[in-house]
Amino acid sequence: MSLGYLSRNMRVLAAQLNPTIGDIEGNTRLVLDALERAREIDADIVVFPELTLLGYPPGDLLLDASFIKALQQKLSVIAPMTKGLMAIVGLPRVNESGIEKPLFNSAAIFQDGKLIGFYDKQLLPTYDVFDERRYFQPGDKISIVKHMGKNVAVTICEDLWQHSGTVGYTNYRIDPVAALQEQEVDLVVNLSASPYCRHKKTQRIQALASSARAVQAPLVLCNQVGANDQLVFDGHSFYLDAQGKLVCMAKGFVQDELFVDLAVRPEPLSMPEEGIEDVYRAIVLGIRDYFEKQGHRKAVLGLSGGIDSAVVACLAAEAIGAKNILALSLPSRFSSDASYTDAEILAERLGVVFKKISIEPMFEAALSTLKPLFAKRPWDVTEENLQARIRGQILMAMTNKFGGLLLTTGNKSEMAMGYMTIYGDMCGALAPLSDVTKTNVYHLARHINREQEIIPQAILQKMPTPELKANESYLDTLPPYEVLDPIIEDYIEKRLSPEEIAEKRKHNLDFVQDLVVRMHRAEFKRRQAPIGIRVTQKAFSKGRYVPVVQRWRGLKG
């Protein structure tokens, strides 16, 4: 169809929104605001993220008939606001055929005030953090819409990935890019909800560039931004030319818009960098959205003087503001004065509220209560756990009395090895570092200190210790982190076998096997862990489903 202004080139707005899952009213408002904005800046096409009106991933909310119905009702609210525009909005659509699954992962296509049709996502990721086959039936045809005399192909996220051969654990039978290659296409738009993990930004651009080249058409991808539980969506919506060159990109980790005039051809951008800065920003967004989307403002955390809690304090201060943070020093007989001093310096520099409470009276009370039951058994991990749990008790009491959420400070290396106390230091609503190995916690600390020292140098330099018994070092229990962390990455993220790891890292096989057995044994603790923010390819949270009661230990025979 012609809208009568074919004389000028097409201008595309990618509305990189941060929806809240299940907030149909709020998400619809975001869409209406973006349509308003599109008219202000004289855009011709507006592209939204995947499942715009729900937020991604909505999980089992999709199974509520009333939820689906409430979503459908927004179509007639949005339609009149698309006068003079083409707009593509993501939401589920009922599969009227009744065959296989009851819903499609769909995109409503509006043109000049009318809903003109739907496009149903054809490739449904069902691996890693994705479970779309649980809910959706794949669509079976491409969709090309004529707008201002141009052929606009509408696609959704995974649809454009098969072509590059970079899909996880799946090799789709069909390839929508191949189907598009056989058509006249002037522009490909893609509604995405592509979550962040390390190197994902580069991967995403490369995968889609291969599709743009194949179709020989420019491509605008609109990605969701924002964090939903464990997943952080980084945004970074982009525009590729027909040669697959990156022309422009929206900001990462914030709501933004990408406004593209298809006629204008600036110099291609160089590939963006992917460093620790992105990990930092992903976690900050993960914390901020976890709080804001639930209406929480205040956080509590234990500030021990160690590196993990120091980094969490910095991340939280950035995410929700230092004045909203209460940091507690909770020393015992085993805590060093230096730990307290280091924590105090950091708290002052950050400007967080800092208080000190000795856990000794509670620890004493616990020891004497348990004494008759323990019947002279020697000191062991029980007494260490008691201390960690008393700290958890105090921290939780502060959130109960004054509101706010407790942040857990443990890291991925500990989570892997079970080097943490369940109901103790594992207490908390959110674990910002649970997908960050100790090695990377140090990287984050140095990144935080890159311009000026915020985390005291002493914290970076001291040997990590839980301070739960006298003269303790983590090396009493674990190998050095520079040895351990690569093994964790190999086993958890890369799924190498102990044999392959021993070979690759030049370790004794028994040494690697022992660590792998310990990783498996800690599964029961991870099952009850707080939500952790995913920043690697495989976090101990969403996207990893390992039974607790099972005997496979990664070992042959």
Nearest by Cα to 553 from 517, 522, 525: 517
- 113-172 residues in contact with a second copy (CB under 8 A) are 126-127, 131, 133-134, 169-172
400 is a site residue for a second copy (CB under 8 A) = yes
Structure token pair of residue 348: 């002052």
Give me the least distance between CB of 80 and a second copy, in Å please.
Answer: 18
Nearer to a second copy, 456 or 532 (CB): 532
547 is a site residue for a second copy (CB under 8 A) = yes
Instruction: With contacts defined by CB under 8 A, name the span among 39-47, 215-223, 396-404, 473-481 that binds a second copy.
Output: 396-404
Q: Kind and range of the H or E element at 319?
A: helix 307-320
The DSSP bridge partners found for residue 459 are none
Enumerate residues 6+ apart whose C-beta is below 8 A from 424: 385, 387, 388, 389, 391, 392
Known active-site residue 157: yes
DSSP characters for 405-435?
EEBP---HHHHHHT-S-TTTTT-SSEETTTT
Among 247, 427, 448, 484, binds a second copy (CB under 8 A): 427
**Active-site residue, from 50, 384, 414, 489:** 50
527 is a site residue for a second copy (CB under 8 A) = yes
The torsion angles phi and psi of 186, rounded to 5 degrees, stand at -100, -25
Known active-site residue 50: yes
Among 81, 153, 386, 478, binds a second copy (CB under 8 A): 386
549 is a site residue for a second copy (CB under 8 A) = yes
Structure token pair of residue 186: 């002037």
DSSP characters for 73-85?
TTHHHHGGGGTT-
Give me the least distance between CB of 99 and a second copy, in Å please.
Answer: 5
Give me the least distance between CB of 547 and a second copy, in Å please.
Answer: 5
User: Angle 355-359-360 (CA atoms, 0-180°, nearest 5)?
Assistant: 130
The DSSP bridge partners found for residue 220 are 189, 239
Angle, in degrees to the nearest 10, between helices 438-448 and 307-320? 50
- 295-354 residues in contact with a second copy (CB under 8 A) are none
- C-beta of residue 139 within 8 angstroms of C-beta of residue 101: no
Window 19-48: contact mask with a second copy (x via CB under 8 A): -xxxxxxx----------------------
364 is a site residue for a second copy (CB under 8 A) = yes
**Distances, alpha carbon 246 to alpha carbons 159, 180, 188, in Å:** 19, 20, 14
Structure token pair of residue 486: 């690569």
Instruction: With contacts defined by CB under 8 A, name the span among 249-257, 339-347, 365-373, 464-472 that binds a second copy.
Output: 365-373
423 is a site residue for a second copy (CB under 8 A) = yes
Instruction: With contacts defined by CB under 8 A, name the span among 17-25, 181-189, 303-311, 451-459 that binds a second copy.
Output: 17-25
**Distances, alpha carbon 275 to alpha carbons 195, 202, 278, 302, 535, in Å:** 16, 11, 6, 28, 12
Instruction: With contacts defined by CB under 8 A, name the span among 43-51, 83-91, 234-242, 394-402 that binds a second copy.
Output: 394-402
Give me the least distance between CB of 513 and a second copy, in Å please.
Answer: 12
531 is a site residue for a second copy (CB under 8 A) = yes
261 is a site residue for a second copy (CB under 8 A) = no
Strand pairing class (531-532; 353-356): unpaired
Give me the least distance between CB of 18 and a second copy, in Å please.
Answer: 12
By three-state DSSP, how is residue 348 classified? helix
- 491-520 residues in contact with a second copy (CB under 8 A) are 495, 497, 499
Known active-site residue 248: no
Nearer to a second copy, 317 or 359 (CB): 359
Nearer to a second copy, 200 or 526 (CB): 526
Window 214-243: contact mask with a second copy (x via CB under 8 A): -------------xxx--------------
Instruction: With contacts defined by CB under 8 A, name the span among 216-224, 258-266, 438-446, 522-530 that binds a second copy.
Output: 522-530
> How many beta carbons lie within 10 A of that of residue 455, not counting itself?
22
Identity of the residue numbered 215: V
Enumerate residues 6+ apart whose C-beta is below 8 A from 398: 300, 326, 328, 404, 406
Give me the least distance between CB of 216 and a second copy, in Å please.
Answer: 27
Q: What does the alpha-carbon distance between residue 105 and residue 132 come to, in Å, rounded to a whole number?
A: 8
Query: What sections of 359-411 are H helices per DSSP?
Result: 360-374, 381-402
Q: Kind and range of the H or E element at 47?
A: strand 45-47
Nearer to a second copy, 273 or 552 (CB): 552
Identity of the residue numbered 92: P
**Active-site residue, from 74, 132, 157, 414:** 157
Give me the least distance between CB of 117 and a second copy, in Å please.
Answer: 24
- 49-108 residues in contact with a second copy (CB under 8 A) are 55, 57-61, 63-67, 70, 73, 98-102
Residues with catalytic roles? 50, 121, 157
